Amino acid sequence: MDLNDDPQQAAFRAQVRGWLDEHKAEAPIVLGEGQIEDEHERIEAWRGWQRKLAEGGLCGVTWPEEFGGAGKGPIEQVIVNQELARAKVPGALDFIGLGMMGPAIIVHGTEEQKRRYLGPMLHGDEVCCQLFSEPAAGSDLAGVTARAVEQEDGSFKISGQKVWTTNAQFSAFGVLLARTDADVPKHKGLTMFIVPMDAPGITIRGLRQISGEAEFNEVFLDDVHVPADTVLGQVGNGWGTALTVLMFERLSIGTTSIGYSAERFAAGVKSAPGAQEDPEVRQRLGHIGTEMIASRFAGHRLLSDLAGGQLPGPEFGLGKVTVVKSAIDAGDLIADVLGPDALDEGSEWGYMISFLPGLKSAGGTEEILRNTIGERVLGLPPEPRSDKGVPFSELKARENEKVA
């Protein structure tokens, strides 16, 4: 595989770099040292920066031109990401909407939904959040219990609880997975909805993280009324729509360096006195570097598949597992060699070390992804399942009996 830019890609990179060189002085500091302290001001500044990126063609790079995107391929998206990192400026505020929810709407949405949501999402006017996980349904996403009850006029009333919802506190709408039929097996009775986050009956509570931030939230829905045209995809086909979102989520994590590279980690380790001469440190760093470099090239291979028209499949989850695990291992190593100073708020590494473990659950836990890859990619025997073909209502009845 040729990893160098071809002439068209080189021209695109030069265009992106030129635009960023011209405009990077306008970028706000939204993360790390010197960031805007007031959350509202920071979000509004970041929203404005996303709008500017969109005007420069650097948001929705792979979106079709008819929806405001650049109509480019995944390799061009990586070029944009690389040049943003080179210029040391933030990317889009709504990375969830642009990278996961927008593509799901493009694939499964009606023409009216595409016109209504994609433009405001692209320009940062409306941020989108993902209402999937629940306190008892995260890794086993098909076990969600949030209920959407259809009304006589075709509308729905939704009740339940969601958790670990990033950006819910300033999102205009969320893509929500709910159960519309409990009398069929759990994967078949689900439906996806596009829900306004200011709808009556929605309560949002922030969840404080070890980093001190409250990027995640728990969301409560109490008889939230939504019209029939908020269904994304088909009623009862929510699992298929959810898989589209999850595949793009795993792809977005697995084909990036999440802001850190093997070279940057190595520099951090070498800054500790005596670390370079310690054989255990050298061995751990060599292993981490090997994993991260291998992930980088595996990401290039996946990008080639995408450029050839292949949709993200189960194998894309392996990149997510490897990238996140290697970065967490690197953070542990840096904490070991630098000591408590590595966790200081002013440290280059403090936020990363406290934030990265949360990514282990994003897009599915490592255990679930390994099972999926083993079964669907390697053809290994599936784990025994007692829920296969059983109506969801009967599964819940069994759980209630055990509790009683």
Q: Catalytic residues, which ones?
A: 249
Cα-only R_g, the chain? 22
List, in order, residues 6 or more apart from 219 with CB less than 8 Å away: 131, 161, 162, 163, 165, 168, 174, 202, 203, 204, 205
- Residue 325's alpha-carbon distances to 2, 254, 311, 322, in angstroms, are 27, 11, 24, 5
Cα-based torsion angle of the residue sequence 114, 115, 118, 119 in order, rounded to the nearest 10 degrees = 170
Show the CA angle centred on residue 71, arms to residues 67 and 74, nearest 5°: 125
**CA atoms of 235 and 227, how far apart (whole Å):** 13
Residue 273, phi-psi category: left (phi > 0), alpha (psi -120 to 50), beta (remainder)? beta
